[in-house]
Each structure stands twice: as C-alpha cells, then as structure tokens.
Amino acid sequence: MTVLSTPFVRSGTGDPIIFDGVTTTPKQFAITKPADATSYRFVNPCNVDVRIRKVGSMQESVTLITGTRFLARSSETLGTSAPTFVSIIATATPTTECNPELQYGRGG
C-alpha cells in the first residue's frame, strides 16, 4: 500500500468537481483528471454515507455493495487512476442537499 506523505497540492484550476443532487438512485458524471494529478481529495458533506465508483460509460452505475464508501461529513485523500466517468449513490436518503466534491491534486 502506498502511503501519501506530502501535503496535498491542488491540480488544474484549483476548483473542485461538485457532484450535485446525489440520492439513493445512482447518478453518473463525466470527469476529467488533470495530467499532473496523482491523488484526489473526496469531501462528503452529506448527512449520509455515499459510494463512488469508476465506470466505463454513463450507462454503468455503482451499487450499494460496489465502489468506495465515504462516511457522512468526512474527507479522504486517495491515489487516483484516470477515470472518464464515475457513478455515485447515497446509502440512505439524505435529509438535506447532498453534493460531494472531488478535488484532484498531488500528494496528500
């Protein structure tokens, strides 16, 4: 397992990708990874856990037992691949807006 030991530095424009309107129905998003990005920070401000998964097309989707789970109101920095599409699902019905964010960068 690779341990990221340097500070997280944002890539690209510095603006996050915001996944708006996440619910218990899977939702797909097209994303672009900056060339210099080696990691990403995922921020889940929702009051429920969410799952995110790299998918091959806008027709594929994450399920409640696939992908990576991010706990409610948490953030995590992970190494990245080069996904073109991701699918996100809330594990329970959010009681407020659920708009997780992904920020590409280096280190973490």
From the number of C-beta atoms within 10 Å of its C-beta (0-12, 13-18, 19+), residue 41 rates as middle
What is the reported pTM? 0.88
- Mean pLDDT within 19-39: 96
Residue 107 falls inside a structural domain: no
Residue 17 falls inside a structural domain: no
Domain count, the chain: 1
Residue 104 falls inside a structural domain: no
Q: Tokens representing 37?
A: 């990005």
- Spatial CA neighbour of 102 closest among 55, 35, 32: 32
Task: Let me know: does 63 contact 88? Beta carbons within 8 Å.
Answer: no
5 — pLDDT class (breaks 50, 70, 90): low
- Spatial CA neighbour of 104 closest among 1, 9, 19, 3: 9
Would the pLDDT of 4 be above 60?
A: no
Pick the more confident residue, 42 or 1: 42
Residue 19 falls inside a structural domain: no
pLDDT of residue 77: 92
pLDDT of residue 107: 84
Domain hosting residue 39, numbered range: 26-98
14 — pLDDT class (breaks 50, 70, 90): confident
pLDDT of residue 23: 98
